């Protein structure tokens, strides 16, 4: 039975995330509700009404750049791991916007010897957030089953530091986890091999694992998928040589607590209580390989991971697909990168060498 106008307006008034922005726009387009009625339901917030009326999903890329077999020149690789719907793409748009707005971004130019490999995707992410708009629209999840290699330079106190953001799609991460589950596993074999090649190269690496607080049942339990990821990491010894830091990022923490000051402690508690196997496996990897200074703690004491567990929010989320962007969380990650990314080495070499 279809919802009545009164039910729709009551649901909107009680919870701005009851419907998606697209659904509310459809209510307006189909004249199920009027602009005046919507405005009243959102307590006279004209910014929300205008954002709903003009709602459309951002286009992140018009083509897919293939990652070449060989990539030259030194950089620090920043890996972003997260299952589908973890909010990783949203977070990347916030992080890149903050790098740019804080004056730390230097893109490769058309006539430089080195080019950004996934430039279309990078520019799409940079255009998601318009700092002049009060409300911005989140992009859809990445649709193609691949990864993006976005290389650029970080400007830090007059120094240039080469980095590459490597965005692993949720499908690729799921396929890597499934290597530990399925005896015959052919899904995304080319992409999985490419990830293995990247992880085994000589570049320094920092990893961010995004865990969705709001949806702990994502094609099965997230914690089980992450435990299977760790089994693959251990068996293939991915983090033995070149990983400097590993961070855990709990996303959508505005659902944990409205008070920003309480979120981080609650995010740490949530991770420690609900992801114990993943936490202990990552902790052991860190201690065995001198990551996150874990080797300075007693064997089996993984409390150091609390210092590397972050709470992440994009700001006030509206109708599931829009937000009033707040760069506080993004700025924390940007500051980590500015502090942790190493200075460039002299000389060039193939990162697959």
Q: Considering only CA atoms, which of 158, 103, 94, 150 is closest in space to residue 127?
A: 94
Domain assignment of residue 231, yes or no: yes
The verdict on residue 205 lying in a domain is: yes
Q: Based on the fold, state whether residues 241 and 313 are members of the same structural domain.
A: yes
SS3 category, 54: coil
Q: Encode the chain (353 residues) as per-residue pLDDT tens digits.
A: 689 999 999 999 999 999 999 999 999 999 999 999 999 999 999 999 999 999 998 888 766 667 766 666 689 999 999 998 888 999 999 999 999 999 999 999 989 988 888 999 999 999 999 989 999 999 876 666 788 999 999 999 989 999 999 999 999 999 999 999 998 888 899 889 999 989 988 899 999 999 998 776 444 488 899 999 999 999 999 888 899 999 999 999 988 877 888 899 999 999 999 999 999 999 999 999 999 999 999 999 999 999 999 999 999 999 999 999 999 999 999 999 999 998 765 444 434 33
Domain range for 34: 5-53
**Quick check: is 103 in a domain?**
yes
Domain co-membership, 32 together with 145: no
The reply to whether 182 falls in a domain is yes
Residue 68 lies in a domain: no
Please check whether residue 307 lies inside any domain of the structure: yes
Do 131 and 169 reside in the same domain of the chain? Answer: yes
**Does 166 lie in the same domain as 34?**
no
Q: Provide the domain count of the chain.
A: 2
The reply to whether 95 falls in a domain is yes
User: Is residue 65 domain-resident?
Assistant: no
Q: What is the pTM of this model?
A: 0.92
**What does the buried/exposed string (b/e) look like for 77-93 if buried means 16 or more CB atoms within 10 Å of the residue's CB?**
bbbbbbbbbbbbbbbbb
């Amino acid at each position: 039975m279809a919802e009545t106008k009164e039910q729709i307006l009551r649901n909107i008034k009680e919870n701005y995330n009851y419907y998606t922005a697209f659904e509310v726009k459809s209510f307006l387009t189909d004249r199920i509700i009027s602009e005046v009625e919507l405005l009243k339901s959102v307590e006279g917030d004209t910014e929300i009404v205008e954002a709903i009326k003009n709602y459309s999903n951002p286009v992140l890329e018009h083509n897919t750049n293939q990652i070449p077999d060989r990539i030259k020149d030194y950089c620090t690789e920043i890996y972003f791991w997260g299952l589908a719907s973890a909010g990783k793409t949203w977070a990347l748009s916030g992080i890149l916007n903050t790098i740019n707005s804080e004056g730390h971004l230097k893109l490769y130019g058309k006539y430089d010897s080195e080019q950004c490999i996934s430039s279309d995707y990078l520019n799409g992410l940079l255009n998601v957030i318009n700092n002049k708009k009060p409300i911005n629209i989140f992009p859809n999840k990445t649709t193609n089953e691949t990864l993006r290699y976005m290389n650029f330079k970080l400007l830090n106190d007059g120094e240039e530091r080469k980095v590459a953001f490597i965005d692993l799609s949720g499908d690729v991460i799921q396929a890597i986890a499934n290597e530990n589950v399925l005896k015959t596993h052919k899904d995304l074999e080319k992409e999985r091999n490419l990830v293995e090649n990247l992880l085994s190269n000589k570049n320094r690496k920092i990893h961010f694992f995004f865990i969705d607080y709001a949806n702990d049942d994502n094609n099965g339990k997230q914690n089980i998928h992450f435990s299977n990821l760790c089994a693959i990491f251990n068996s293939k010894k991915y983090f033995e040589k070149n990983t400097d830091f590993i961070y855990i990022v709990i996303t959508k923490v505005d659902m944990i607590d409205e008070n920003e000051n309480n979120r981080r402690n609650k995010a740490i508690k949530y991770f420690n209580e609900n992801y114990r196997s993943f936490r202990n496996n990552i902790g052991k990897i860190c201690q065995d390989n001198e990551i996150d200074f874990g080797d300075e703690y007693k064997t089996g004491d993984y409390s150091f991971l609390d210092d590397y567990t972050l709470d992440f929010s994009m700001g006030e989320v509206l109708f599931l697909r829009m937000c009033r962007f707040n760069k506080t969380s993004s700025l924390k990650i940007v500051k980590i990168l500015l502090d942790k990314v190493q200075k460039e080495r002299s000389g060039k070499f193939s990162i697959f060498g």
